[in-house]
Amino acid sequence: MLTPDRVPEIIRDGFSLKLDEIVASKFVVGQEIITKNIHPAGHTRLPLYARSKRGTIMMHHGVFPFPDSSAAGAGPNPQNVYCVRFSAPEIWGDNTHPLDAIYLDLWDDYLLSLKELPR
Amino acid sequence: MNGAHDCGGMHGFGPIDRCHEDEIFHAAWEQRVFGLLWAVGAHGFWNIDEIRQAMEGMHPNHYLSIPYFEHWLSAMERLLVEKEVVTTAELAAARTRVTQEVHHVDA
Amino acid sequence: MAHEHNHDEHDHDGHEHGSGHEDSHAAPDPLVVRTQALEALLMEKGLIDPAAIDALIDQYEHHIGPRIGARVVVRAWTDLDFRELLLRDANTALAQAGVGRLQGEDMIVLENTPTVHNVVVCTLCSCYPWPVLGLPPPWYKAMPYRSRIVREPRVVLREFGLEVSDDIEVRVWDSNAELRYMVLPMRPAESHGLGAEDLAHWVTRDSMIGVGVARAPIGAES
ipTM: 0.97
Stretch B40-66: mean pLDDT: 97
The rounded distance, in Å, linking the Cα atoms of C21 and C220 is 38
Distances (CA, A) of A73 to A18, A26, A69, B45: 18, 24, 7, 11
A67-81, C38-52, C109-123, C208-222, range with the lowest pLDDT = C208-222
CA distance C123 to chain A (A): 8
pLDDT for residue C5: 39
How far apart CA B81 and CA B90 sit, in angstroms, is 10
Q: Compare C218 and A80 and report the one with higher pLDDT.
A: A80
Q: Does C1 touch chain B (CB under 8 A)?
A: yes
- Put simply, the answer to whether B1 touches A2 (Cβ < 8 Å) is no
C135 CB within 8 Å of a chain A CB:
no
CA dist., res. C104 & res. C124, Å (int)? 17
User: Given this model, what pLDDT does residue B3 score?
Assistant: 97
Measured distance CA(C25)–CA(C83) in Å, rounded: 59
Q: What is the pLDDT of residue C2?
A: 36
**Does C126 qualify as catalytic in the annotation?**
yes
How many angstroms separate the CA atoms of C68 and C60, rounded?
12
C83 or C21, which is more confident: C83
Q: How far apart are CA C54 and CA C49, in angstroms?
A: 9
Please list, residue by residue across A54-73, b when 16 or more beta carbons sit within 10 angstroms of its beta carbon and e when fewer do. bbbbeeebbbbbbbbbbbbe
Residue B16 has pLDDT above 50, yes or no: yes
- The model's confidence at residue B102, banded by pLDDT at 50, 70 and 90, is confident
Q: Are C50 and C40 in contact (CB under 8 A)?
A: no
Whether C122 is a known active-site residue: answer yes
Average pLDDT over chain C reads 91
Alpha carbon of residue A55 to chain centroid: 12
pLDDT at residue number A116: 75
| Weakly modelled stretches of chain A, pLDDT under 50 | none
The mean per-residue pLDDT over the stretch B57-84 comes to 97
- Give the model's pLDDT for residue A119: 57
Would you say residue C85 has pLDDT above 90?
yes
pLDDT band at C23 (very low <50, low <70, confident <90, very high): low
